[in-house]
Amino acid sequence: MPLPREPFTLNGGCNCGSVRYKMSVPKFEERPISVYCDEHALSDQTRFPQVLIDHCNDCRRATGSMTPAWIATVVSFLEFSIQSTSERSSIKGDEILKIENLGTKQFSPLKWYRSSESKFRAFCENCGTSLCYRSTNLKADWPDMVDFLLGTIDREDLEKDWLKPEREMWWEKGIPWVRDLIRDGTIKEDLPRHPLWKMNHHVPS
Protein backbone atom coordinates (compact mmCIF):
# COMPACT_ATOMS: atom_id res chain seq x y z
CA MET A 1 0.00 0.00 0.00
CA PRO A 2 1.63 3.29 -1.03
CA LEU A 3 2.20 6.20 1.33
CA PRO A 4 -0.58 8.80 1.41
CA ARG A 5 -0.49 11.46 -1.30
CA GLU A 6 -1.68 14.10 1.14
CA PRO A 7 0.65 15.59 3.80
CA PHE A 8 1.33 13.39 6.85
CA THR A 9 3.51 13.33 9.95
CA LEU A 10 5.42 10.50 11.63
CA ASN A 11 6.96 10.57 15.11
CA GLY A 12 9.70 8.43 16.55
CA GLY A 13 12.80 8.25 18.70
CA CYS A 14 15.07 6.18 20.86
CA ASN A 15 14.06 3.79 23.63
CA CYS A 16 14.73 6.20 26.50
CA GLY A 17 13.24 9.28 24.84
CA SER A 18 16.41 11.35 24.88
CA VAL A 19 16.32 11.65 21.09
CA ARG A 20 12.97 12.28 19.43
CA TYR A 21 12.21 13.17 15.83
CA LYS A 22 9.26 14.30 13.77
CA MET A 23 9.01 13.66 10.03
CA SER A 24 6.66 16.11 8.32
CA VAL A 25 6.00 14.96 4.75
CA PRO A 26 4.41 17.40 2.29
CA LYS A 27 1.90 16.53 -0.41
CA PHE A 28 3.02 14.06 -3.07
CA GLU A 29 3.84 16.62 -5.75
CA GLU A 30 6.29 18.42 -3.43
CA ARG A 31 8.33 15.33 -2.56
CA PRO A 32 11.65 14.71 -4.35
CA ILE A 33 12.02 11.74 -6.68
CA SER A 34 13.65 8.75 -4.99
CA VAL A 35 17.09 7.54 -6.02
CA TYR A 36 16.05 3.98 -5.16
CA CYS A 37 14.07 3.59 -8.38
CA ASP A 38 15.46 2.25 -11.65
CA GLU A 39 12.84 4.13 -13.63
CA HIS A 40 11.86 7.61 -12.56
CA ALA A 41 8.32 7.42 -13.91
CA LEU A 42 6.16 9.40 -11.53
CA SER A 43 4.01 7.02 -9.52
CA ASP A 44 3.03 6.31 -5.93
CA GLN A 45 6.34 4.55 -5.31
CA THR A 46 8.98 6.80 -6.86
CA ARG A 47 9.12 9.72 -4.44
CA PHE A 48 10.61 10.06 -0.96
CA PRO A 49 9.92 8.85 1.61
CA GLN A 50 10.12 5.15 0.78
CA VAL A 51 9.86 2.16 3.11
CA LEU A 52 12.52 -0.48 2.43
CA ILE A 53 13.67 -3.89 3.61
CA ASP A 54 17.47 -4.08 3.55
CA HIS A 55 19.44 -7.30 3.01
CA CYS A 56 22.98 -5.87 3.09
CA ASN A 57 25.52 -7.46 5.42
CA ASP A 58 26.74 -4.16 6.88
CA CYS A 59 23.28 -3.00 8.00
CA ARG A 60 22.41 -6.43 9.36
CA ARG A 61 25.48 -6.40 11.61
CA ALA A 62 25.13 -2.74 12.58
CA THR A 63 21.49 -3.09 13.66
CA GLY A 64 21.56 -6.66 14.97
CA SER A 65 18.44 -7.37 12.90
CA MET A 66 18.11 -10.12 10.31
CA THR A 67 15.87 -7.85 8.25
CA PRO A 68 16.51 -4.19 9.00
CA ALA A 69 13.73 -2.05 7.59
CA TRP A 70 14.20 1.64 6.83
CA ILE A 71 12.18 4.68 5.90
CA ALA A 72 14.31 6.61 3.44
CA THR A 73 13.49 10.30 3.58
CA VAL A 74 14.99 13.74 3.04
CA VAL A 75 16.66 15.86 5.68
CA SER A 76 14.38 18.86 5.21
CA PHE A 77 11.35 16.83 6.36
CA LEU A 78 12.87 16.32 9.83
CA GLU A 79 12.92 18.06 13.17
CA PHE A 80 14.61 16.68 16.30
CA SER A 81 13.99 17.09 20.00
CA ILE A 82 17.15 16.38 22.02
CA GLN A 83 17.23 16.02 25.80
CA SER A 84 20.61 17.14 27.11
CA THR A 85 21.64 17.05 30.78
CA SER A 86 19.80 20.29 31.56
CA GLU A 87 17.20 20.99 28.88
CA ARG A 88 15.38 19.75 25.78
CA SER A 89 16.16 21.49 22.50
CA SER A 90 14.32 21.52 19.18
CA ILE A 91 16.68 21.32 16.18
CA LYS A 92 15.88 21.27 12.48
CA GLY A 93 17.01 18.23 10.51
CA ASP A 94 19.15 20.26 8.11
CA GLU A 95 21.17 21.47 11.12
CA ILE A 96 21.58 18.28 13.15
CA LEU A 97 22.23 16.20 10.00
CA LYS A 98 24.73 18.54 8.33
CA ILE A 99 27.50 16.54 6.71
CA GLU A 100 30.14 18.44 8.72
CA ASN A 101 28.37 17.51 11.98
CA LEU A 102 28.54 13.77 11.36
CA GLY A 103 30.92 12.10 13.77
CA THR A 104 30.90 15.06 16.18
CA LYS A 105 29.44 15.29 19.68
CA GLN A 106 27.69 18.58 19.01
CA PHE A 107 24.19 17.24 19.61
CA SER A 108 24.80 14.74 22.41
CA PRO A 109 23.25 12.33 23.37
CA LEU A 110 22.88 11.74 19.60
CA LYS A 111 26.17 10.09 18.67
CA TRP A 112 27.65 8.87 15.41
CA TYR A 113 29.52 5.71 14.48
CA ARG A 114 31.56 5.78 11.27
CA SER A 115 30.84 2.37 9.76
CA SER A 116 32.87 2.93 6.60
CA GLU A 117 34.79 5.73 4.87
CA SER A 118 31.70 7.74 3.93
CA LYS A 119 28.92 6.15 6.01
CA PHE A 120 27.76 7.23 9.47
CA ARG A 121 25.20 5.64 11.78
CA ALA A 122 23.50 7.56 14.57
CA PHE A 123 22.50 6.14 17.93
CA CYS A 124 21.45 7.35 21.36
CA GLU A 125 24.39 7.57 23.74
CA ASN A 126 22.12 6.92 26.73
CA CYS A 127 20.18 3.82 25.69
CA GLY A 128 22.09 2.59 22.62
CA THR A 129 19.13 2.67 20.19
CA SER A 130 20.24 2.71 16.56
CA LEU A 131 18.40 5.52 14.78
CA CYS A 132 19.57 6.41 11.29
CA TYR A 133 22.10 6.01 8.50
CA ARG A 134 23.72 8.92 6.63
CA SER A 135 26.20 9.06 3.75
CA THR A 136 28.67 11.85 3.03
CA ASN A 137 29.13 11.02 -0.66
CA LEU A 138 25.69 11.73 -2.09
CA LYS A 139 25.71 12.41 -5.80
CA ALA A 140 25.23 16.01 -6.87
CA ASP A 141 21.80 15.38 -8.40
CA TRP A 142 20.48 13.41 -5.42
CA PRO A 143 18.28 15.00 -2.73
CA ASP A 144 19.82 15.43 0.73
CA MET A 145 18.66 12.12 2.17
CA VAL A 146 18.84 10.03 5.33
CA ASP A 147 17.50 6.58 6.27
CA PHE A 148 15.75 5.98 9.62
CA LEU A 149 15.23 2.53 11.09
CA LEU A 150 11.54 1.80 10.77
CA GLY A 151 11.36 0.29 14.24
CA THR A 152 12.15 3.67 15.84
CA ILE A 153 8.80 5.08 14.67
CA ASP A 154 6.18 5.29 17.41
CA ARG A 155 3.83 2.32 17.47
CA GLU A 156 0.67 4.34 16.86
CA ASP A 157 2.22 5.51 13.59
CA LEU A 158 3.90 2.22 12.76
CA GLU A 159 0.57 0.38 12.86
CA LYS A 160 -0.64 2.27 9.79
CA ASP A 161 -1.00 -0.19 6.90
CA TRP A 162 0.80 2.11 4.47
CA LEU A 163 4.07 1.84 6.41
CA LYS A 164 4.49 -1.74 5.25
CA PRO A 165 7.79 -1.97 3.27
CA GLU A 166 7.27 -1.50 -0.45
CA ARG A 167 10.61 -2.64 -1.88
CA GLU A 168 13.77 -4.59 -1.00
CA MET A 169 17.39 -3.50 -1.27
CA TRP A 170 20.54 -5.63 -1.72
CA TRP A 171 18.42 -8.69 -2.46
CA GLU A 172 21.40 -10.69 -3.74
CA LYS A 173 23.14 -10.28 -0.35
CA GLY A 174 20.18 -11.70 1.60
CA ILE A 175 20.25 -14.76 3.84
CA PRO A 176 18.28 -17.42 1.88
CA TRP A 177 15.84 -18.42 4.63
CA VAL A 178 15.24 -14.75 5.51
CA ARG A 179 14.42 -13.98 1.89
CA ASP A 180 12.01 -16.95 1.92
CA LEU A 181 10.24 -15.61 5.00
CA ILE A 182 9.86 -12.16 3.47
CA ARG A 183 8.92 -13.15 -0.05
CA ASP A 184 6.92 -16.34 0.49
CA GLY A 185 5.94 -16.33 4.14
CA THR A 186 7.32 -19.85 4.45
CA ILE A 187 7.16 -20.39 8.20
CA LYS A 188 5.74 -23.39 10.03
CA GLU A 189 2.13 -22.79 10.99
CA ASP A 190 2.65 -24.85 14.13
CA LEU A 191 5.56 -22.75 15.37
CA PRO A 192 5.01 -22.21 19.10
CA ARG A 193 3.46 -18.84 19.97
CA HIS A 194 4.19 -17.73 23.51
CA PRO A 195 1.36 -15.86 25.27
CA LEU A 196 2.26 -12.36 26.41
CA TRP A 197 1.16 -12.98 29.97
CA LYS A 198 3.79 -15.67 30.52
CA MET A 199 6.61 -13.52 29.17
CA ASN A 200 5.31 -10.56 31.18
CA HIS A 201 6.26 -12.28 34.42
CA HIS A 202 9.90 -11.78 33.50
CA VAL A 203 10.17 -9.19 30.71
CA PRO A 204 8.36 -5.82 30.73
CA SER A 205 6.43 -4.99 27.57
pLDDT in tens, 69-109: 999 999 999 999 999 877 899 999 999 999 999 988 889 99
Q: What rounded mean pLDDT belongs to the chain?
A: 88
Share of the chain above pLDDT 70, in %: 85
Domain positions in the chain: 8-174
* Phi, psi values for residue 8, rounded to 5°: -150, 165
More confident residue, 104 or 49: 49
**Residue 61 per-residue DSSP state:** H
CA distance 124 to 12: 13
**In the prediction, which pLDDT does 59 show?**
92
More confident residue, 37 or 20: 20
More confident residue, 88 or 183: 88
Position 158 pLDDT exceeds 70: yes
Whether residue 51 contacts residue 69, with contact meaning beta carbons closer than 8 Å, is answered with yes
More confident residue, 59 or 36: 59
The sheet carrying 119-124 orders its strands as 110-116, 119-124, 130-135, 145-149, 69-74, 50-54, 167-169
Fold entry, domain 8-174: 2.170.150
pTM confidence score: 0.88
User: Once rounded to an integer, what is the mean pLDDT over residues 52-72?
Assistant: 93
Position 123 pLDDT exceeds 90: yes
Whether residue 122 contacts residue 112, with contact meaning beta carbons closer than 8 Å, is answered with yes
**Residue 135 per-residue DSSP state:** E
Report cis status (omega within 30 of 0) of the bond before 68.
Answer: no
What pLDDT band is residue 44 in, cutting at 50, 70 and 90? Answer: low
